Chain A
Amino acid sequence: DDPEAGKKVFAKCAACHAVGEGAKNRVGPHLNDAIGRTGGAIEDYKYSKAMMEAGAGGLVWDEDNLKAYLANPRGLVKGTKMAFAGLKSEDDLSNVIAYLETFSEKQASAATPPETVTEPEAEAAEDVAEVTPSAAPQDASASVETPAGTEPGAGKHFKLGRAATPEEVAAWDIDVRPDGLGLPEGRGTVTHGMEIYDENCASCHGDFGEAVGRWPVLAGGQGTLQAERPEKTIGSYWPYLSTVYDYVRRAMPFGNARSLSDDDVYALTAYLLYLNDVVTDEEFELSKENFTEIQLPNEPNFIDDDRQEEPFYAEKKEPCMENCRPGKAEISMHAAILDVTPEDAGEDDQPAGGGID
C-alpha cells in the first residue's frame, strides 16, 4: 500500500472530494477521518437516503468495505449519489485507501466492521432528491416536493435501444478536440483556402474576415481584449485551433452545413490562420499531421470559474435592511437617453454596446 501512489489516484476523486487540513464538503463530503467514519455521518452534507440508511444500518467505513465501495459504488450502496463508475485496479484501490488513511485518526484496524451492509429496500434506496426545505416561503404548505423514492430507473438496465454501427458513429461523431482527437485525414493550403473562402464565406465575414454588418469578425483584434470595445476573433480570443476546424465542419457555410470536404476545411482553417497572422506563408499547408503544432496566441488567458471567490459572494454577508445608504437616490443613467427599445427605435438605431454573443 503506497500512499504516494494513492495521492495520484485521488486526482480522480478530487473533482468532488476534498481532503487535508481545512477540507470542506464539495460535491461529495470531505474525506478527513473517512476511515472509521459511519456512513452518512457528516451533518452538514446532504447524503443520499441510501447512504443515510446504510449508516443507520451499521455501515462504518474500513479498508474492506471502502475497497468494495470504490470498486463499485452502487454495488455496495445501491442508490448512492456518488456518480463514480468505480476503480478497476486492485493497486489503485489499496493505494488510494492508504492515502486516505494518512488523513484518518482511526486506522482501518481500529474500526469495527459491521457484519453485513444493510441493503435497503430497492425503492427506498433510490436517490431521493436530497430535499431540505430550507427555503422559507411564508406559505410552507405551498412547497410541493417530489415524493420519496422517485428517481426512476437508477442502476437498472432495460435492454432498450440497439447497438450503434461503426458507420453510424463515424457519420455523426465529427467532433475534434484540442489534442487532435477526432481530426480526419486530409490537408489544405492557404491559397486553396482563400478560393473557398471567397466563394463561401466572404459574403458575411468580409473579404479579410472583417465581417459585413453584425456577422462575426474572424480576424484582427489582437491587443483589444482590455479595451472598451474588445474585438474577439480567432486570432485575438479563441484558445484552440481545433474549435475552428470543428465548427466550420459542423455548421458552416451558414445555411449549407456539411457541404465542404475535410480537405476544404483544412484549407479554410489554414487561410483563417493566415488572415490572423498566425502563419505568414501563402504556401503553408495544414494537415492532420501538423495540426496540433499550431497554438493560438490567447490560449493562456482562459481561467476556470472563480466567481465564488468574488467578495460579494465569498463573504455571504447578511444584507443591510435599514438606513443602508445616506441621502436620496439620484439617477446616474437613464435607458431613455440611448433608448434602443424596439417599440420606439428606428431602423438605424444601434446599441450602446453589449450583445448576446
Chain B
Amino acid sequence: AGDPLITEIQDWNRYLGEGVDARPYGSPSQFEAHVVRKNVPWLTSDAVSSVNFTPLHELDGIVTPSGLCFERHHGGIAEIDPAQHRLMINGMVEKPLVFTMADLKRFPRENKLYFLECAANSGMEWRGAQLNGCQYTHGMIHCVMYTGVPLRTILEEAGVKPEGKWLLAEGADASAMTRSIPLEKAMEDCMVAFGMNGEALRPEQGYPIRLVVPGWEGNMWVKWLRRLEIGDEPWHQREETSKYTDLLPNGKARRFTYVMDVKSVITNPSPQAPITHGKGPLVISGLAWSGNGRINRVDVTTDGGRNWHTARIDGPALPKALHRFYYEFDWDGSELFLQSRAIDEDGFVQPTKDELRSVRGSNSIYHNNGIQTWYVNKDGGIENVEIS
C-alpha cells in the first residue's frame, strides 16, 4: 500500500530526458503554461494599442520575470536592429549629439531594481469592484533589475544650457511616444537602460533602450528611446494633456501627476488563487511599493479593517522597488475580508478607496492606490468586493 507515485517507478525516473542543447534559451516548465500575461479585450479598440497584465498571483519575491512584465503599447512592438538604432540629444544643449548603441555601452553603467507601474493600474476599480483577480486589478506593474547609463551622464556629455528646465523623451515606435520630464528628475535618478534582469531588454519593453524614471508613472518610461530634447517649458504632448491627467468632480483636471503613490495588494490568496487546502496554516502574501522610496510597514487585516496585524517584509527593501510581505496565521474556515495597507518612508499611508473617492470622485482613471478587499468564503473561494 502507498502512493503509486512513490511505490511505482515513474517514466521520468526511467527514461532519459532531453540533452543540454534542446533548449538553448530556456522556457518555463510545460506545467507552468497557465502562467501568462492576459489582456481584457473590451478595454481598448485594438491590440496594437492596448495593455496586458502581469500574473501577480503566480509570482513571489520581488523580481518579475522578463517575459511576464505587463505590456502597454501605443503603436505595437517596434522591432529595431540595435545596429540601426540612434539616440539623439538636441534642444538647449551646448552640442547636439547622436549616439549609436556601441557608444552608449562605453559610458559607465549602473544596476538598479525599480518597479514600473502604469498610472492606470487599478483604474477600472474607481467605480467599484469590477474584475476578479489581482492580475487585472493590479497587474500593470513589474519590477526588474535595470542595467544602463545614468541619464545625467548622457545629458552632461551634450552640456545642458542654464535655461534648460525640461526634457522631452521620444520613442522610435509608430506612436513616436513623447513625454515632458522636469530636468531635476532627469538629473536625479533617471537611466537609459539596455538591460533587464541581466539580459537585453525584451522587444516589448523597448529593446534596444528605454528610459527609466524611478517611482513615476510608467507612461514616462519611454520605450525604443530615440531622442532627448532639452527645453525651457513642458511640451504638453497628448499623453500629458488628453491622457494621464486626472479629472476631478468639479471638472478641473490635475496634470503632471507623476509620482506613483504608496500602494499594496494581497496577491495570494486572491480570486484567481483561492484557498484549496482547508483550515490550518495559511500564508498571506503580497506586494507593496511607493514612488516616494521605501516601504516602512505593511499591515494586514482579515476582518475588513476592524483589526490590523503588522506583516513581515521579506527580501531586499529597496527604494522605488517592490517589497514582498507575508502574514501567516491559522485559518479557522470562517469568512475573511482580506486587506493590506502600506506606509512608506515619507509617512504616507495607503488610503481606502472611499477616502480617494471622497476627494477625487470616480472619473480620475489614473492613480488609484486604494486599499483592495478580497472576500474569502467558507470554501476558500475568493471574490473582489467592496465593503462597509
Contact = CB atoms under 8 A, between A and B. Distances in A.
Interface stretch (A95-103, A271-279, A300-308): A300-308
Contacts of A129: 189, 319
Contacts of A334: 129, 383-385
Interface stretch (B22-30, B194-202, B254-262): B254-262
B41 interface: yes
A257 B153 contact: no
Interface string A316-357: 110111111100111111111011111011000111111111
Query: Which of A16, A146, A353 is packed against the most chain B CB atoms within 10 Å?
Result: A353
Given A83-B183, A338-B130, A301 B253 contact: yes
A37 interface: no
B31 interface: no
Contacts of A344: 132
Interface string B129-156: 1111100100010000000011011001
Interface string A143-180: 11110001111111110111110001100110111110
B170 A172 contact: yes
B239 to A, nearest CB: 9
B84 to A, nearest CB: 14
B175 A230 contact: no
Contact of B233 (A179, A243, A357): A179
A242 B235 CA distance: 9
Contacts of A321: 299, 307-308
A160 B254 contact: no
B296 A204 contact: no
Contacts of B45: 204, 213-215
Given A331-B386, A355-B124, A178 B38 contact: no
Interface in B308-348: 308, 312-319, 323, 337, 341, 343, 345, 347-348
Contact of B97 (A163, A332, A352): A163
B238 A351 contact: no
Interface stretch (B7-15, B159-167, B204-212, B278-286): B159-167
A90 B343 CA distance: 46
Contacts of A328: 303-304
Given A330-B388, A335-B383, A356-B44, A242 B236 contact: yes
A246 B128 contact: no
Interface string B95-117: 11111100110111110100000
Nearest to A326: B306
B75 A251 contact: yes
A317 B72 CA distance: 36
B97 A81 contact: no
A310 B261 CA distance: 12
A324 B183 contact: no
Contact of B108 (A152, A164, A204): A152
Interface stretch (A60-68, A193-201, A233-241): A233-241
Contact of B385 (A138, A225, A331): A331
Contacts of B133: 341
Contacts of B91: 173
Given A243-B242, A251-B174, A353-B127, A324 B308 contact: yes
A113 to B, nearest CB: 26
A257 B174 contact: yes
B69 interface: no
Nearest to A250: B176
A83 B152 contact: yes
B168 A354 contact: no
Interface in A112-152: 129, 133-139, 142-146, 150-152
19 contacts: A134-B294, A135-B294, A136-B313, A144-B318, A168-B98, A169-B88, A169-B90, A175-B178, A179-B233, A225-B247, A238-B241, A305-B258, A319-B299, A319-B349, A332-B386, A353-B124, A353-B362, A355-B120, A355-B123
Shortest beta-carbon contacts, A-B, top 9: A329-B304, A152-B108, A83-B187, A135-B294, A153-B153, A137-B313, A335-B384, A164-B96, A214-B45
Interface of B: 38-46, 48-49, 51, 72, 74-75, 88-91, 95-100, 103-104, 106-110, 112, 118, 120, 123-133, 136, 140, 149-150, 152-153, 156-157, 160-162, 164-165, 168, 170, 174-176, 178, 182-184, 186-189, 226-227, 229, 231, 233, 235-238, 241-245, 247, 249-259, 261, 271, 293-297, 299, 303-308, 312-319, 323, 337, 341, 343, 345, 347-349, 351, 355-356, 359-360, 362-363, 365, 367, 375, 383-388
